[in-house]
Amino acid sequence: MSVDFCGLELAHPVINGSGTFDALAACEAFGAGLLEDFPFAAYVSKTITLEPRRGNPPPRVWEVPAGMINSIGLPNKGLSSYLANDLPRLAGITTRGHEPGGELRGVPLFTNVMGSTAAELRELVEACDRHEEIAAVELNVSCPNVQTGLDIGADPDQLRAVLGELRGATGKPLVVKLTPNAADVPACAVAAEEGGADAVSLINTLRAMALAPALDGARARPWLGGRTGGLSGPAVRAVALAQVAAVAERVRIPVIGMGGVQSGAHARQLLDVGASLVAVGTESFRDPGAGRRIARELQSER
């Protein structure tokens, strides 16, 4: 079941969605064995920014029918701390793939970065380029929780231009994570391809909102500390399928499909409409072993 993605060899086609699996925290919860037999075939980091970010004030999550809204606000320790403290620990992750006795393989590390300007993004990409532990770079141009980022991703021209400025900064595979909150997502994907992206990934979360349970007579107020957030989970699966299918039809570069995947059958559908890899986000919250389980189900589907 091993697959090639932009020249990287992956044990199977199931990886994690950025920001939905913290390998180091999971290691505390589940023990160090987790990093020896990782549930995903590649590990995508949470979004890293140049400067440290605290993230949004709580509450940060809200449950909705068949999904959730998050307003995490991209907390992270900033680029230097990530490179100095996390990277060494993330370098040696391995996996046995979808079955206990499987061959031991390395788990390539994808570092997801976000910047509010092309210059910031270039600096982030350059830094990633200097670290051989990093196998690929994913650009988050789509996170709806933060003011920045969004506009670049929703406007094909701007996206193409930004990529033009930073493409030269690395020879590593460059994945552009598209925003689903755009009028014409395939056009954005084409712009990413023209700008030199080696792959695109989608969907990120849909802009959404939750109100706190209202007290008698009072007007309800936003529940999330960040006011609005992003919708993920099975509720968005049919939207993801439509966007992935539409994008895969328009670009020649590989597509990483995600959004509401809970089972091998769902992963299979994304592959069937043209994705090369499938990422799992919210389902990991319900089952930390979801990555491996879905890879296994996918195997028995074929």
Ligand X SMILES: Cc1cc2nc3c(=O)[nH]c(=O)nc-3n(C[C@H](O)[C@H](O)[C@H](O)COP(=O)(O)OP(=O)(O)OC[C@H]3O[C@@H](n4cnc5c(N)ncnc54)[C@H](O)[C@@H]3O)c2cc1C
Partners of 10 in beta bridges: 3
Beta bridge partners of 255: 200
- Pair 254, 199: CB distance under 8 Å: yes
Nearest to ligand FMN of 215, 253 (CB atom): 253
- Residue 228 binds its own copies, judged by CB under 8 A: yes
* Minimum distance, C-beta of residue 82 to other proteins, in the bound complex (Å): 15
Residue 34 interacts with which of other proteins, ligand FMN, ligand X, none, CB < 5 to 8 Å by class = other proteins
Q: Are 88 and 108 a contacting pair, CB within 8 Å?
A: no
Residue whose CB is less far from ligand X, 46 or 60: 60
For the segment 81-110, give every residue that binds ligand X (CB under 6 A): none
> Nearest 5 degrees, angle CA 176-CA 178-CA 179?
150
Residues known to be catalytic: 143
Interface pick for its own copies out of 236, 247, 248, 277 (rule CB under 8 A): 236
What's the min distance (Å) between Cβ of 218 and ligand FMN? 25
> Among residue numbers 66 through 105, which ones bind other proteins (CB under 8 A)?
66-68, 70, 72, 75
- 10 Å CB burial of residue 58 (0-12, 13-18, 19+) is exposed
38 vs 62, which CB is nearer to ligand X?
62
CA distance 186 to 246: 6
Task: Determine if 231 is a binding residue for ligand X (CB under 6 A).
Answer: no
Find which of its own copies, other proteins, ligand FMN, none residue 196 binds, CB within 5 to 8 Å per kind. Answer: none
Cα 150 to Cα 139: distance, rounded to the nearest angstrom: 12
Give the CA dihedral 27, 276, 267, 150, nearest 10 degrees. Answer: 70
**Mind giving me the DSSP string for 230-241?**
EEESGGGHHHHH
Cβ atoms 224, 59 nearer than 8 A:
yes
Write out the two tokens for 294. 């879905």
Q: Which does 146 bind (CB under 5 to 8 A by kind): ligand X, other proteins, its own copies, none?
A: none
The site for its own copies (CB under 8 A) is made up of 62, 64-67, 69, 154-155, 181-184, 206-211, 214, 217, 219-220, 228, 231, 234-239, 241-243, 245, 260, 268-269, 272-273, 302
The site for ligand FMN (CB under 6 A) is made up of 17-20, 46-47, 70, 72, 74, 112, 140, 143, 177, 203-205, 232-233, 236, 258-261, 280-283
